[in-house]
Amino acid sequence: MANHSQLNFQDASSPIMEELMGFHDHALMVALAICCLVLYLLTHMITGKLSSNTVNAQVIEIVWTILPAMVLITLALPSLRILYMMDEINEPDLTLKAIGHQWYWTYEYTDLKELTFDSYMIPTADLPLGHFRLLEVDHRVIVPMSSTVRVIVTADDVLHSWAVPSLGVKTDAIPGRLNQTSFLASRPGVFYGQCSEICGANHSFMPIVVESTPLANFESWSSLNPS
C-alpha cells in the first residue's frame, strides 16, 4: 500500500516485482554513472584550456562508440530476461478471469465450479472504519499464497487495465480479446490496485483488491461460493 510522500515503489509481494525493482535500481545506477561522467567532462571543458589535440584522436572516437553500446547491453540483457519471466506461464495452480465493465470488475474462477462474482467499490458513506477510501471493494479477489495464478483479462465495453503494483502485474482489458498475465504472491496480505486505463467518467472508481491467504483458508473460502 502506497503512503503519502512515498518516493520509492510499494513493497514487492511477488518474485516478478522483486526483479522489476532490482532492474530499476540497476538502470538508475547506470544513469547516475552517465550523468557523473557527462558532468565531469563538461566541467573539465569549461574550466580547462582549449586544445586541438583531440582533432585526430581515433582512440577517443572508438571509446565513445563502444562505451554507449556496452551500456545498452548492460541494460538490454536484464530487461529481456525479466520480459521473458513475465511472459512465461507454466502450469498455473489457479486460473482467474477478470472482466472489466463500466465501472466494476467481474471475476470468474474457471477451475472452480460456479464461482463468479462482481466487485464494486464501497462508497465512502458505507466504508467501515479503518478501510481505505476509493480502494476498498465489496468482494475481494482471494488467491492462495505461494501459488502461481494465471489471470485472463478482458473487457465487456471499453478499454480497461487490470493492475496491482505490489504484485508487478498490469494487463490491458480489451473488448473481444483475451490477454493473460500471472503472479505468485510470496506472502499473505491485502494488495490494492486500480484500473490503469482511462475508461470513462468513473474511471477512478473501479479499484482492485487481491487478498493472499494460506491454501487452507482459500479452500474454506471457495467452498462458501460468494456468487
Given a cut of 70, the residues of the chain with pLDDT beneath it are 1, 50-56, 225-227
How much is the pLDDT for 131? 86
How much is the pLDDT for 139? 92
Beta bridge partners of 78: none
User: In this structure, how many other beta carbons lie within 10 angstroms of the beta carbon of residue 213?
Assistant: 19
User: In this structure, how many other beta carbons lie within 10 angstroms of the beta carbon of residue 15?
Assistant: 14
Tally of domains within the chain: 2
How much is the pLDDT for 225? 63
- From 58, 87, 116, the end of a domain falls on 87
114 with 214, same domain? yes
Q: What CATH number does residue 103 fall under?
A: 2.60.40.420
67 with 120, same domain? no
Residue 214 lies in domain: 94-225
How much is the pLDDT for 178? 94
- Virtual CA dihedral for 2, 166, 219, 147, nearest 10 degrees? -160
Segment 77-87, tens digit of pLDDT: 999 999 998 88
- Virtual CA dihedral for 22, 25, 28, 34, nearest 10 degrees? -80
Q: What CATH number does residue 32 fall under?
A: 1.10.287.90
pTM: 0.83
145 with 66, same domain? no
